[in-house]
Chains A and B, each alone.
Chain A
Amino acid sequence: AQSVTQPDIHITVSEGASLELRCNYSYGATPYLFWYVQSPGQGLQLLLKYFSGDTLVQGIKGFEAEFKRSQSSFNLRKPSVHWSDAAEYFCAVGAGDNAGKSTFGDGTTLTVKP
């Protein structure tokens, strides 16, 4: 069975500081990994995804994530956080085009201090 753990329920960072959101997954084969962001009143939006190849993937809004198979992790990073990044972030794992089920973590809420 696939599962996702986001250990940090809530993170607060100052504007301009760096950010790392943790994600650990459990999956029996090569996973399809995703990070989504959900702002208040908005639908979930994809930030980035990893399927194969380069383990460091770039996404929108200046985000990046690194896939580490040995640690079963897919942490999201941003070098300098903007106030508009305050939102809830979800990591998800899927099985690719052979299956329809994605499993999401419970999310990390990011607060940005001025």
Chain B
Amino acid sequence: GAGVSQSPRYKVAKRGQDVALRCDPISGHVSLFWYQQALGQGPEFLTYFQNEAQLDKSGLPSDRFFAERPEGSVSTLKIQRTQQEDSTVYLCASSPLRGTGGEQYFGPGTRLTVT
């Protein structure tokens, strides 16, 4: 079946623009996670949803970052007034189990470049 998909795969934004990154998880997966992955580093946690509830947003770097999953399926990560330091790869993952109790299925990522 289909895996986790993310769109767009690449996004170039001018500094100060708002961007929206989309994640389509595997159908029926309860948990959804967002990460940043800088070059040469491991994924860094941003936020976690269990169905439509955002249970942990401790990793969001500033109040310019906002995530939602209104119907418990598709999720959007929005970044307002983008800055150059926001340039990195954003990963989405979903899991059939709650929390970190199960395998996370990762999407291919969205590479954001802020110019």
Chain A residues within 8 Å of B, Cβ to Cβ:
4, 32, 34, 36, 41-46, 49, 51, 90, 92, 94-107
Contacts and interface: CB of A to CB of B under 8 A. Distances in A.
A58 B100 CA distance: 19
Nearest to B44: A104
B42 A106 contact: yes
Given A43-B4, A43-B108, A44-B106, A104 B99 contact: no
Contacts of A45: 106
B12 interface: no
Contacts, number: 79
Nearest to B49: A100
Interface of B: 3-4, 31, 33, 40-45, 47-50, 55-56, 58-59, 91, 93, 97-101, 103-109
A94 B108 CA distance: 22
B4 A101 contact: no
B14 to A, nearest CB: 27
B58 A105 contact: no
Contacts of A99: 48, 56, 99-100
Contacts of A98: 99
A96 B95 CA distance: 12
Contacts of B3: 43
Contacts of A34: 103
Nearest to B31: A100
